[in-house]
């Protein structure tokens, strides 16, 4: 069996923040290894890694038992990015970054690019500059013993910001390039799996509020998916596109099967989300080899959950990793040597003679340095040599630096040390006087406190929402516009369906400017 898993991790370093500097140096490797072990897959595809090559560390890049491949954003730091981790038993025969072929190195690449004449070179370079696609090509063996080629396309498709129409155009051009590359690979005889965050909820069943969205079916991203996917799932007969949504193939009517939730509104508590993450396989591959397709909503750590599939094939690992493998990056090259490589005896007499010669030379140089230091060190003077402590009894001799007590020193008499008896009236008067002064100080402190309270009002109490009569939460507008930076209050409950009384009510109140 071959198990593949995809997960938008929303920053691959997120679980390491605050711990990486307090734990041993191999802690990051332990965490990544633990994540991979928990997902328990032969091939794991991560999206939105948010790392660039300059901040990629060895513990993140190289994990024992796996070979990894990264695609970085070249336009912004801490943005986008995808990574694929393959078990050594599923080592790919080829790996390539990007969809256009402009990032290919001609050695160990996947190839098969199709007709891209509709794109300019500048456009192709821009589409591949954000680190959104990574291809690995594997040899697989079916139960009949036939060997075939399987290409995995790990993608993180762009998000269309409503306030930025140019991003919608960018997203649709990325979709077009993805389809051209996938169909070219199919035409070359390879099976193809597209998996990752496609950033589109395909059907109304895949979105929590599709009924209230205007022109849901007319969205350009959904229309593109209509052309890519077969409309009849695993059923035989006519179909539109060459790929199948594997989850809907096995669970065609499952409601609430979401993979992404708003982290700010706490929508995951009430499963108020959408399905943006997919495992799409070519029609023949899904019908013949897919045994299951699943979601893992119980896995936390991101605003997305992992998705995956199980195929009834076995992987045929390559003898060596493709050049794109991170262990071949210059900054990590040589880090995979075993410790016994450093303990091998020098069998060659030439090397042994050189080592002996170097050792003798080093010893002579050390003796010369010691002699030079000894000759340049100043000798202590005869008088100075007598100034030290020579024996143990010297610690018990009276010190000349401290004057001894004079025998003629007069001590005060005992009577002078006795405090004279005070009358009870004087004692009571002092007590009353002390209480009065304390009361005056207390009154003065209260006056000061009330004054500063009138000047500094302190934080205002949270208003109560109208739906539940519970304290609200304060939010800040982060969207560019006239209200950027303004504060407002909303219901503190998690976002959910309007029909659910336990979900957030529609209370909204602007905060008064301070």
Separation of alpha carbons 512 and 278, rounded Å = 44
Which 8-state DSSP code applies to residue 157? P
Where helices occur in 2-57 by DSSP H, the ranges are: 27-39
* Dihedral sign from CA coordinates of 338, 343, 349, 354: positive
Q: Around Cβ 244, how many Cβ atoms within 10 Å?
A: 27
- Alpha-carbon span 137 to 96, nearest angstrom: 9
* Residue pointed to by tokens 């002092």: 430
d(CA 470, CA 492): 8
The sign of the dihedral angle between the CA atoms of 484, 488, 494, 500 is: negative
The three-class DSSP label of residue 489 is strand
Tokens of 467: 């739906």
Residue 480 tokens, joined: 């560019």
Percent of the chain as helix, strand, coil, to the nearest 5: 35, 20, 50
What are the tokens at 3?
């198990």
Half-sphere exposure of 425 (CA within 13 A, CB side): 0
Bridge partners for 194 per DSSP: 153, 280
Say if CB 315 and CB 273 are below 8 A apart.
no
Q: Phi and psi at residue 107, in whole multiples of 5°? A: -125, 120
Report the distance separating Cα 184 and Cα 113, nearest Å: 6
Catalytic residues, by residue number, are 156, 197, 304
């Amino acid at each position: 069996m071959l198990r593949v898993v995809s997960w938008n991790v929303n920053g691959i370093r997120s679980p390491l923040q605050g711990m990486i500097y307090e734990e041993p140096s191999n802690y990051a490797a332990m965490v990544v290894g633990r994540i991979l072990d928990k997902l328990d897959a032969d091939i794991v595809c991560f999206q939105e890694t948010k790392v660039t090559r300059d901040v990629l560390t060895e513990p993140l890049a190289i994990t024992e038992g796996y070979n990894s491949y990264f695609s970085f954003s070249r336009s912004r730091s801490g943005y986008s990015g995808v990574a694929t981790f393959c078990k050594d038993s599923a080592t790919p025969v080829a790996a390539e970054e990007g969809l256009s072929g402009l990032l290919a190195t001609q050695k160990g690449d996947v190839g098969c690019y199709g007709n891209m004449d509709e794109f300019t070179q500048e456009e192709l370079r821009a589409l591949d500059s954000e680190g959104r696609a990574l291809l690995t090509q594997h040899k697989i063996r079916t139960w009949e013993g036939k060997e075939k080629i399987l290409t995995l396309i790990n993608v993180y498709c762009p998000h269309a910001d409503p306030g930025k129409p140019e991003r919608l155009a960018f997203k649709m051009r990325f979709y077009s390039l993805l389809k051209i590359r996938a169909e070219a690979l199919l035409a070359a005889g390879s099976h193809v799996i597209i998996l990752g965050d496609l950033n589109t909820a395909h059907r109304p069943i895949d979105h929590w509020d599709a009924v209230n969205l205007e022109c849901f079916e007319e969205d350009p991203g959904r229309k593109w998916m209509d052309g890519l996917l077969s409309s009849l799932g695993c059923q035989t007969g006519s179909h539109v596109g060459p790929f199948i949504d594997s989850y809907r193939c096995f669970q065609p009517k499952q409601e609430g099967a979401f993979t992404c939730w708003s982290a700010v509104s706490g929508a995951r508590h009430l499963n108020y989300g959408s399905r943006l993450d997919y495992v799409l396989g070519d029609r023949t591959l899904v019908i013949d080899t897919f045994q299951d397709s699943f979601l893992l909503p119980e896995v936390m750590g991101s605003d997305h959950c992992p998705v995956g599939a199980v195929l009834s094939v076995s992987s045929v690992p390559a003898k060596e990793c493709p050049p794109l493998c991170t262990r071949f990056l210059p900054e990590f090259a040589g880090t995979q040597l075993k410790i016994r490589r450093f303990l091998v005896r020098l069998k060659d007499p030439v090397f042994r003679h050189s080592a002996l010669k170097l050792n003798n030379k080093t010893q002579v140089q050390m003796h010369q340095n010691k002699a030079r230091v000894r000759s340049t060190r100043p000798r202590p003077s005869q008088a100075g040599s007598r100034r030290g402590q020579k024996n143990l009894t010297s610690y018990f001799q009276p010190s000349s630096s401290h004057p001894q007590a004079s025998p003629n020193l007069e001590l005060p008499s005992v009577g002078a040390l006795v405090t004279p008896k005070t009358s009870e009236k004087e004692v009571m008067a002092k007590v009353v006087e002390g209480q009065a002064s304390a009361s005056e100080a207390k009154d003065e402190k209260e006056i000061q406190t009330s004054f500063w309270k009138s000047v500094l009002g302190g934080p205002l109490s949270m208003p109560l929402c109208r739906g539940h009569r519970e304290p609200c939460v304060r939010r800040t507008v982060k969207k560019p516009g006239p209200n950027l930076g303004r504060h407002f209050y909303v219901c503190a409950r998690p976002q959910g369906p309007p029909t659910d009384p336990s979900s957030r009510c529609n209370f909204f109140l602007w905060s008064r400017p301070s």
